[in-house]
Amino acid sequence: MGVSIFNNTNTNIEFDPGQITAIGRFFKKNKNKVAEDSYINVADSCFYYDPNQVQTKDMRIWNFADYTKKVHRRQQWDQVLVALSETQAAQNASYSTSETTSLTHGTTHAYGNSNTFGSFNTNSYKSNHSVTYSTTKTFDATAAAIANERAAKNIAAYAESLEDEANAINESYLQPTTIDPQTQMAGYFLINKDKPHIIDLTIPINGVAYQFHFTEIPK
CB 49 within 8 A of CB 35: yes
Q: What is the mean predicted confidence (pLDDT) over 27-44?
A: 54
Domain ranges of the chain: 2-215
Q: Mean pLDDT lowest for which of 12-21, 48-57, 160-169?
A: 48-57
Rounded percentage of the chain residues whose pLDDT exceeds 90 = 35
* Rounded Cα distance, 133 and 116, in Å: 48
pLDDT of residue 54: 77
% of the chain surpassing 70 pLDDT: 72
pLDDT of 76 over the 70 cut = yes
Q: Is the pLDDT of residue 46 over 80?
A: no
In 3D space, the residue among 213, 185, 173 whose CA is nearest the CA of residue 18 turns out to be: 173
